[in-house]
């Protein structure tokens, strides 16, 4: 006769478990009850319910399949760099559409004034579009407006602009001339001043390139002068103005002459001799 333990309380359960553990430690492997058990006896009822037999000739309906578990749509994470590149691509596409729609220079100016994808516009005072005579034989393409240009809304009006005027006057060209044979047309790659006069970024140059190309198409110059690295990057896809200057090349089906920027010449007066050689090459190119 075994010891009966009341398991109706937590204490009784703990006592029963302790007694069981003690018996296992003693080597007990089997437990024999007070009443014999006949393993061949069938249970009074089946452990499962029998399915009713189907009627003869009846076709069982197909079992309903469970509805598929909806799979959450995977949304790839966009990094800040990817988001910035996406915005730049959208800006280039908008610039191409706006530039292509401009049928004359006034329409192109209006398109630039309404262009909202370039952040430089937010910090600039003026849209610096152009100066001189459209249709002039020589188009000078500069880099970006500085402080004086931003204040006056015209390109090359500061100290560098005054030097530029004297340089081209030496070969008989002027932005104030009404005669297209001796006139000069001036514009920039960037129509808005970068903060702190920093160099334009590659993304900003790419965004303005459609406007620059359309500007040149509408102005119809015979010769393009690229003043500095930014114009060379925009039209030639190359930098290194000290290496590029003085050598004729082609862009937009027109002859192109890269030159050092007048601001560089103000800082390095010895380079004016090379600039004079470039000016003579331009004058020779214009000679009938």
pLDDT at 81: 83
pLDDT at 63: 65
Comparing C-alpha atoms, which of 260, 264, 211 is closest to residue 235? 211
Q: Which two tokens stand for residue 93?
A: 């596409």
Comparing C-alpha atoms, which of 278, 174, 187, 190 is closest to residue 230? 190
Query: CA 217 to CA 105: how far, in whole Å?
Result: 10
Q: Which two tokens stand for residue 220?
A: 């119809």
pLDDT at 274: 97
The residue extents of the domains of the chain are 85-286
CATH class of the domain at 85-286: alpha beta
Per-residue pLDDT of the chain (288 residues; tens, 9 = 90+): 456 666 677 777 777 777 777 777 777 676 666 666 666 666 565 555 555 555 666 566 666 677 777 766 766 788 888 888 888 899 999 999 999 999 999 999 999 999 999 999 999 999 999 999 999 999 999 999 999 999 999 999 999 999 999 999 999 999 999 999 999 999 999 999 999 999 999 999 999 999 999 999 999 999 999 999 999 999 999 999 999 999 999 999 999 999 999 999 999 999 999 999 999 999 999 987
Query: CA 172 to CA 33: how far, in whole Å?
Result: 125
3-state secondary structure 155-189: CCCCHHHHHHHHHHHCCCCECCCCCCCCEEEEEEC
pLDDT at 283: 97
- Residues belonging to the chain: 288
């Amino acid at each position: 006769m075994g010891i009966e333990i009341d398991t109706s309380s937590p204490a009784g359960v703990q006592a029963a478990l302790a007694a069981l553990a003690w018996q296992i430690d003693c080597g007990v492997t089997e437990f024999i009850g007070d009443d014999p058990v006949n393993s061949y006896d069938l249970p009074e009822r089946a452990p499962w319910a029998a399915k009713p037999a189907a009627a003869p000739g009846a076709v069982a309906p197909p079992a309903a399949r469970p509805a598929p578990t909806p799979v959450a749509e995977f949304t790839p994470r966009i990094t800040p760099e990817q988001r910035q590149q996406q915005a730049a691509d959208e800006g280039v596409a908008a610039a191409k559409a706006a530039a292509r729609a401009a049928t004359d220079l006034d329409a192109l100016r209006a398109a630039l004034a309404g262009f909202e994808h370039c952040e430089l516009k937010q910090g600039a005072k003026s849209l610096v579009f152009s100066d001189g005579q459209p249709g002039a034989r020589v188009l000078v393409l500069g880099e970006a407006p500085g402080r004086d240009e931003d204040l006056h809304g015209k390109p090359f009006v500061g100290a560098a602009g005054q030097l530029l005027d004297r340089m081209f006057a030496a070969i008989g060209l002027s932005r104030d001339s009404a005669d297209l044979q001796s006139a000069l047309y001036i514009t920039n790659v960037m129509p808005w001043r970068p903060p702190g006069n920093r160099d334009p970024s590659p993304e900003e140059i790419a965004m303005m390139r459609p406007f620059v190309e359309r500007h040149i198409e509408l102005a119809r110059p015979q010769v393009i002068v690229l003043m500095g690295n930014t114009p060379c990057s925009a039209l030639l896809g190359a930098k290194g103005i000290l290496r590029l200057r003085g050598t004729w090349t082609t862009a937009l089906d027109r002859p192109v002459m890269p030159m050092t920027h007048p601001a560089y010449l103000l800082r390095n007066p010895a380079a004016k001799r090379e600039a004079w050689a470039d000016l003579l090459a331009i004058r020779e190119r214009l000679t009938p």
